[in-house]
Amino acid sequence: MSDHAVVGPRSHQRFPLFDSLRGLAAISILLVHVAIFTDGFGDDAVGRIVAHLDIGVPFFFLLSAFLLYRPFVASRREHRARGRFDTYAERRFLRIAPAYWAVLTIAAVVPGMAGAFSGNWWVYYGLLQNYPVYTPDGTCAVDPFRCAIPPAWSLSIEVFFYVLLPFFVLLMAWLARRWRGPWMVPEIVVVGLLSIASFWIQSRVPISDAATVLFFSPIGRGWWFGLGLLLAAFSVWAGQRERLPRALDVVERYPWALVGSAIALYLALVWFVLEPAPTGAFPVGDVGRYFVEYVGFGVIALLIVLPATFGGEGPGRYRAFLRHPIPTWLGVVSYGIFLWQFPVLVAALDLGVDDWWPAQSFLVVSAVTFAGTVVCAAASYYALERPLMRWGRRHEDEPDETPPPEPVAP
């Protein structure tokens, strides 16, 4: 595989290790989806680990918030002109909508996913399926897993975040002009308030339309987005210092201390706290356990992302692995992995792949789904996504740090 083949958009190159994290998160979610259809969950160690690989979701939200917010913070602190919001909106649209619409339409034909050609087509093409603006009908009412692109609930939240981010940028700029103390204080306070609001929302089951909208909003996932927002501000703050804080020296020199802590916390949660099945987008079981998962998964994502944020060129096997071309390339095409995994999975099941080796159906279906998804994702990236990203940068005067946001979720 050539170096040219794995180089993503210029926006990735300042934090290149993030690509691999995105690719790994996409694969983890794919495995959860396969397990749903192949009885891959069980009350044993392996089954519990697989059941909660939906931990990829907070990774995508955190990374997206970091990379989208950081350029605005940097320009404010360096007294440069802020990026244009219309350019930001155009790039977000080109990155998300065309590929999503293409896959949604193709999936409605092969393998025949419902919804896109129904009377509710505007809901699915408009990414409104999270919200109480319609009544599901037909197959979508009976079997939501064969309706449109099921993981798009997280994409809907992501797009909502894109809409709200300029307002957040303006708010923080306004506060910065009026605050006379250390500039990080307003960042910490506002993100803290956002996290507290999300804790309140996530600790109870929505019982009204308004509560449902909040639950499936960036405010409802404010802990995960907030970690990315705060980390973005902190990275700018650290970059302006002559010497890095001692804590960051530990992050740079001992990345496995954080990664090992994250793995240990994940294993403790899935073995001793959480239910032996994924809770996904909605608390279907013990709401208290769901809340612990929500908070804990954010902490785990932060611990994993920190060594990729600071000291990215440093030594160590962890960073060397993240720099490897294969996981890097999987991250570059991870939006396609998110979009294509369910259509490919459903097509594989319709072909009877799960009967090829019934005793190991999870492994077989995982392998087939992964292979098919990666092929489709690569075709989508090189034929559609990358040309549109390049076209969206046609008038840029300087490199853009914004990533191709690629939320995935079960």
pLDDT per position as a tens digit, 219-232: 999 999 999 999 99
- CA dist 172 → 76, 226, 288 (Å): 10, 13, 33
Mean pLDDT of the chain, nearest integer: 90
Residue 349 CA, chain-centre distance (Å), reads 26
- Is the distance from CB of 22 to CB of 63 less than 8 angstroms? yes
Residue 97 has pLDDT above 90, yes or no: yes
Which range (4-8, 299-303, 344-348, 393-397) has the least confidence?
Answer: 4-8
- Which pLDDT value is given to residue 242? 75
Which range (8-12, 92-96, 265-269, 314-318) has the least confidence?
Answer: 8-12
- Which pLDDT value is given to residue 1? 44
Residue 127 CA, chain-centre distance (Å), reads 16
* pTM exceeds 0.85 for this model: yes
- Which pLDDT value is given to residue 327? 97
Question: pLDDT tens digit string along 296-311?
Answer: 999 999 999 999 999 8
Residue 11 has pLDDT above 60, yes or no: no
Tokens read off for 310: 């600071």
- Is the distance from CB of 354 to CB of 28 less than 8 angstroms? no
- Which pLDDT value is given to residue 9? 43
Average pLDDT of span 189-193: 98
Average pLDDT of span 31-50: 88
Cis bond before residue 278 (omega within 30° of 0): no
Taken as a whole, the chain contains a residue count of: 410
- Which pLDDT value is given to residue 283? 60
Average pLDDT of span 272-287: 73
Q: Return d(Cα 255, Cα 313) in angstroms, integer.
A: 12
- CA dist 331 → 377, 386, 399 (Å): 11, 13, 20
- Which pLDDT value is given to residue 62? 98
CA proximity to 304, closest of 263, 334, 270, 364: 263
- Which pLDDT value is given to residue 372? 98
Question: pLDDT tens digit string along 113-157?
Answer: 999 999 999 999 999 999 999 999 999 999 999 999 999 999 999
pLDDT bin (cut points 50, 70, 90) of residue 322 is very high
Average pLDDT of span 375-386: 98
DSSP state of 142: H
Q: Write the burial class of residue 39 (CB in 10 Å: 0-12 exposed, 13-18 middle, 19+ buried).
A: exposed
- Is the distance from CB of 62 to CB of 298 less than 8 angstroms? yes
- HSE-CB at 92 with a 13 A cutoff on CA atoms is 21
Tokens read off for 21: 């994290």
Percent of the chain surpassing pLDDT 70? 91
Tokens read off for 87: 């350019």
- Which pLDDT value is given to residue 205? 76
